[in-house]
C-alpha cells in the first residue's frame, strides 16, 4: 500500500481560503483552488485532516488524473492507475459519483459503468482472478468518484464517509439549519476570538453557539464521529486511536467562554440545549427563549452572528422586512459590537438600515447568500 498520497479537501464556494488556512494551521503546505484545497501527506495526514478541519466538506485521495475524450481513453486511463495500492482483495468499490463538465464525455452513468469495468479488470489481473469470475465485494467500502472537467479526468477515493459537516451532535434540527462546517467557517471569517462575548439572537438549533464553543475549547470537530478510512485494512487502528486520544487531551476544559443564544421559538431553544449537551459544550453556552428586539447588553467589544430566516425559510416578505428592520434598530446601540449576518435577501442593507462594511458571497447548499459584515468601534476594556 502507498505511503504518500495526493489529497484534496473539498469546500463550499467562497470558503476555500478558510479551509486552506486550517490546513496550514495543521502544519501542512497546500494550494487553494476553486472548490478545493490540494495537499499531500501520509495516512496520519488523512486522519488528522478528517478529525480537525472545521470548514471542509470531505477529504479525498486523488488516485490519478489523465486526459480522455473517448470512452476507450477513459477505460485505459482508469485501468492504468495503481488500484492495487488502494483496494485490497474483497473491497467494495462503487463508482459512487461521476461529474462531467465542458467535456466530450458527458453521459455520467456511462462514465461510471466504464470506470467500474476498468477497475474490475485491473484488480482481476493483479489478484490473478479469471475474467469471467466476478470479484467478491464483501469487505470495507472505498467510494470512488470520477470528475471530468474540460476533458481532464480526475479519479478520487472518498476517505470521510458522510460529509464532515456531520459532527454527530445534532439530536434534532429546525427548518433549513445552517450546516455545521459553514457555521464554523463564518466564525473563522469573523473577528470573534474566545476572549470575546458572542451572541446569536436567532440561534435556532444552536449551531453557531456550539461551533464557537468547540473552537474555544480546542475540540476537534470529528472527535465524536466515524470515518470511512477507519474500516480500511491499510490504516493503522492504533494510529487512529492515538490521534483521537491526542485530540481528546487537547480539549481545554478550564476555559470559561461567554456565548449566548436565543430564539423566539421555545422548542428550538430546547433542541439547541440538547445538541449542546450532545456536543459536550453545554456548560459554555447560555440559551434562552427571547424575542430578538429584547436583546440588551452592557458588555463591549462583542460579536453578534445571525442566520435569520430568509428565502425559502420564510415566505412572508413583510415578516422578513420587519425582522430586518427590528434587527437594525436593536443592534444600532451596540456600537462596539461587530455583527455578521447571513442572508439571501439582496435588499437586506436597505431593510436593516445601514450599509455593511464588507460583504462576502457564499453558498448555503445551492442557495446564494451574502455574509454582511459590520465592524464595531473598538474600545479598551476597563481593568478591574
Q: What is the mean pLDDT of residues 85-102?
A: 96
- pLDDT above 50 (res 352): yes
| Inside any domain, residue 248 | no
Tracing cell 490519478 back to the chain, one arrives at: 64
> Are 278 and 339 members of one domain?
yes
Q: What is the mean pLDDT of residues 3-9?
A: 97
> Are 206 and 98 members of one domain?
no
Query: DSSP of 224-267, one letter per residue?
Result: TS--GGGG-TTS-HHHHHHHHHHHHHT--SS----EEEEES-HH
pLDDT of residue 114: 98
Q: What is the mean pLDDT of residues 363-368?
A: 84
| Inside any domain, residue 237 | no
Last residue of a domain, one of 112, 127, 158: 158
Q: What is the mean pLDDT of residues 73-94?
A: 97
- pLDDT above 80 (res 381): no
> Are 295 and 201 members of one domain?
yes
| Inside any domain, residue 246 | no
| Inside any domain, residue 175 | no
Q: What is the mean pLDDT of residues 297-319?
A: 80
Q: What is the mean pLDDT of residues 70-76?
A: 98
| Inside any domain, residue 164 | no
Domain that holds residue 303: 180-222+253-374
- Per-residue pLDDT tens over the stretch 192-212: 999 999 999 999 999 999 999
**Quick one: CA dihedral 217, 372, 33, 30, positive or negative?**
negative
Residue 327 backbone phi and psi in degrees, to 5: -60, -50
Q: What is the mean pLDDT of residues 34-51?
A: 97
> Are 86 and 193 members of one domain?
no
Q: What is the mean pLDDT of residues 333-353?
A: 95
- Per-residue pLDDT tens over the stretch 114-165: 999 999 999 999 999 887 788 999 999 999 999 999 999 999 999 999 999 9
pLDDT of residue 384: 45
> Are 147 and 37 members of one domain?
yes
Q: What is the mean pLDDT of residues 54-60?
A: 98
- pLDDT above 80 (res 316): no
Count how many domains the chain has. 2
> Are 350 and 258 members of one domain?
yes
What gap in Å lies between CA 339 and CA 188, rounded to an integer? 14
> Are 127 and 184 members of one domain?
no
% pLDDT > 70, the chain: 96
> Are 86 and 196 members of one domain?
no
Last residue of a domain, one of 102, 127, 158: 158
Return the DSSP state at 71. H
Amino acid at each position: 500500500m502507498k505511503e504518500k498520497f495526493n489529497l484534496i479537501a473539498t469546500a463550499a464556494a467562497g470558503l476555500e481560503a478558510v479551509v486552506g488556512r486550517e490546513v496550514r494551521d495543521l502544519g501542512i503546505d497546500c494550494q487553494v483552488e476553486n472548490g478545493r484545497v490540494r495537499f499531500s501527506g501520509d495516512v496520519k495526514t488523512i486522519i488528522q485532516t478528517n478529525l480537525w478541519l472545521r470548514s471542509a466538506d470531505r477529504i479525498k485521495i486523488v488516485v490519478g488524473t489523465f486526459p480522455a475524450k473517448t470512452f476507450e481513453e477513459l477505460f485505459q486511463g482508469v485501468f492504468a492507475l495503481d488500484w492495487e495500492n488502494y483496494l485490497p482483495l474483497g473491497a467494495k468499490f462503487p463508482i459512487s459519483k461521476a461529474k462531467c463538465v465542458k467535456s466530450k464525455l458527458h453521459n455520467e452513468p456511462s462514465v461510471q459503468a466504464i470506470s467500474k469495468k476498468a477497475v474490475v479488470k485491473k484488480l482481476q489481473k493483479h489478484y490473478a482472478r479469471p475474467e469471467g469470475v466476478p470479484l467478491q465485494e464483501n469487505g470495507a467500502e472505498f467510494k470512488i468518484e470520477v470528475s471530468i472537467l474540460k476533458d481532464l479526468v480526475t479519479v478520487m477515493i472518498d476517505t470521510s464517509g458522510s460529509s464532515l459537516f456531520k459532527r454527530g451532535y445534532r439530536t434534532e434540527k429546525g427548518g433549513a439549519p445552517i450546516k455545521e462546517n459553514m457555521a464554523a467557517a463564518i466564525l473563522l471569517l469573523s473577528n470573534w476570538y474566545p476572549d470575546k462575548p458572542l451572541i446569536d439572537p436567532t440561534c435556532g438549533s444552536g449551531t453557531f453557539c456550539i461551533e464557537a464553543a468547540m473552537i474555544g475549547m480546542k475540540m476537534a470537530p470529528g472527535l465524536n464521529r466515524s470515518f470511512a478510512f477507519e474500516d480500511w485494512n491499510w490504516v493503522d487502528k492504533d494510529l487512529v486511536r492515538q490521534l483521537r486520544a491526542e485530540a481528546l487531551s487537547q480539549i481545554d476544559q478550564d476555559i470559561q467562554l461567554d456565548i449566548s443564544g436565543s430564539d423566539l421559538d421555545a422548542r428550538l431553544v430546547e433542541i439547541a440545549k440538547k445538541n449542546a449537551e450532545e456536543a459536550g459544550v453545554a456548560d459554555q453556552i447560555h440559551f434562552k427563549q427571547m424575542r430578538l428586539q429584547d436583546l440588551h447588553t452592557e458588555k463591549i467589544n462583542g460579536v453578534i452572528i445571525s442566520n435569520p430566516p430568509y428565502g425559502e425559510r420564510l415566505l412572508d416578505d413583510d415578516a422578513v422586512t420587519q425582522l430586518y428592520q427590528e434587527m437594525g434598530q436593536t443592534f444600532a446601540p451596540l456600537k462596539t459590537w461587530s455583527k455578521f449576518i447571513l442572508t439571501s435577501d439582496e435588499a437586506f442593507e436597505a431593510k436593516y438600515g445601514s450599509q455593511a462594511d464588507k460583504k462576502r458571497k457564499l453558498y448555503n447548499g445551492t442557495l446564494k447568500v451574502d455574509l454582511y459584515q459590520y465592524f464595531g468601534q473598538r474600545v479598551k476594556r476597563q481593568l478591574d
